[in-house]
Chains A and B, each alone.
Chain A
């Protein structure tokens, strides 16, 4: 078990953004997280990565209780994340963006030349090597999302939290991004926890899917089970999804 949470609760005032959510991600697994807007998916990610403090429950990473750890400590332990609304360091070049991650990852004693080489390798992995010295603000959305992934990979994560990496991309780009995500898992053996609204992609790639609604977990299982679950169809997928049989 790499990452797990028990009875994770987060309140904003009197409103429960997350209520007693249990989840687990095993080593080398791709877990999907779906649910309607406002169901607490991003809040769960913020709680896992340490941006919000928990109001109840516990989160374990590799057997260690990290509920009280600040975000930078969690990053050093091996939790990398990307953001739904991309947050590249706009006025820095791509290579510097990635270097920041390498400098502050858990690995020590990297000399500047190694860092440079490593950063280029990561940019090559996501396919941005030719643009290494561009400013991040000059990229397209797709490239920014790739940069986010490269930057998160630079922190040497053992689990990657991807917050809607496919939103706003066209069909061709979606296929490319899914391939990239699968490669991350296969080549680096990084577990992936993935929020997505594009069902086609997540149902194909994910091994397990967790469904949130109003801050509560309503279903968990393989994509096939989820797509037949009555509750999930009612609150999120809709009747037409079942009829269309799209999977």
Chain B
């Protein structure tokens, strides 16, 4: 691709114009059919019985009374249904395959014995009616031998802690290495020796549930040896592949259908245990089975952002140059290591003397998994709080401190483009940073105090492989086949717009077929902010091919069609490709009540060229608000005496409502760096990466106390101010 960087991006024919979603009508009239809206003839309903205890060996399960209940068709437990849920236990980001399934030492099955967290599945029932299935659960008798449990990751690594797996509580990677994740660069000791001052502190963050509006469910239906699954998955391709691996089928024996799904935020990538339990029950019952989770089951049974404890040690010189960065940290993974447990943020700094050690630790809490920018927001909160504190301690403006220390392109590490300086400068100007921040934190007179915080980020916007097929028929109607599922960001519309642009036709002339693995080619899945770039590039390439065919053979007539497909393997020529952002937040804290209100929020993002500015804007605003919730409200608390979760729902988990939300002012700096489809980069995860840090820094600036635990709840504010 071209290496020209275009900083004067103008709207194209279709791309760059605010465009209502092509399926907006279905979404506002109730016609959009989600998984739980599907109905098949003879469909049974399924429910799951879950562990009431945090850690126990199951001595016996008696299902006989449940089985005798009229209307009950099938009951499964760990005794009669041993299905590996690979994606529930394989370290994230790795392609799941048969050797990995075989090698995984700490395998997660759909039912496990012992059970290792409150909410772990113990049995499942399929019945003719959902109420009968629920009644049947109450007739299943489980005898538990309760075992000691541990909830906190640091405590779990102590020798006296309850052992969750025979090898101990340090979670292994997918190669069964029982090692922390370690990054070492430069000379850490020499770096500290150069420092005039060394700062050390501890930061912690809580478990945040994705809490997508649509609780998990799955409808399974077998025809011979072919399984059709209606499932709310973020990726029909990886869901199909994982389900086939888990059930011992070939990929083509599994069809995944997901036309609409009610959000996931990383939580519904790959396949879910719902898929495997529904498929297993359906096979046994010889009938379609709809498995539905309640809100509480969804909260406890599945995944959310891992809680962390982060110890930092940072060396700086008197002129504000960072000379050494060290972090020792713990991520609470629950009793299965579904994903990495990563903690990012330090890489935003240029300092080459770095040591980072992260222990992914088993606990008897619900399992941690991916949540929108899985490794980022908690890590950015930790490191940005450290740096903000250091800046004020040495008498520097945090923005000035960042400009001095942030990573920039070097000859050894070139970027496709770099616009962090512009993001910061523009954000500071729009927000009026000079006048809103308190040079002396906490200096407002009286009990109601204002302050301002700043954070920044650079985040991968790399390219990769996906596929697309495009067809034109004798009516000059184009059909685009892409394996995306529209989980909220608007991928279906984005892909249609890219095709329309490349083909030079109106969007209305392009039908987009998506969300069905039997009809659509491989797509990377709606995770990692990758769809627009990766599947978008495939769409561009397929459309180029089709245009060439049309040039050579003319438009098809009558029953003729022309078809093109593409599975490109693009590169960035060895350069780093990132998106960039700077956030500025102002809060007002009532130190008598401990309440925090966000009074102004400014976000400046560079996400390359915007395909659909309207949906891009709402990705940034929504993600930013989710991050504000993480900073100020959300937590899943546990009773340390019993191991029982206390706040597993919308009210008690304290998700943001209409009234908690400020207007998020967003400005984009548009750039075409010559890579990606028309220069598009990532947008989906960007906003949440840095908003918790901006909010936390603003609170500390307002009250003059560094807030070292998320969420920054009223009690924590009162603890330091009263």
Do A and B come together as binding partners? no
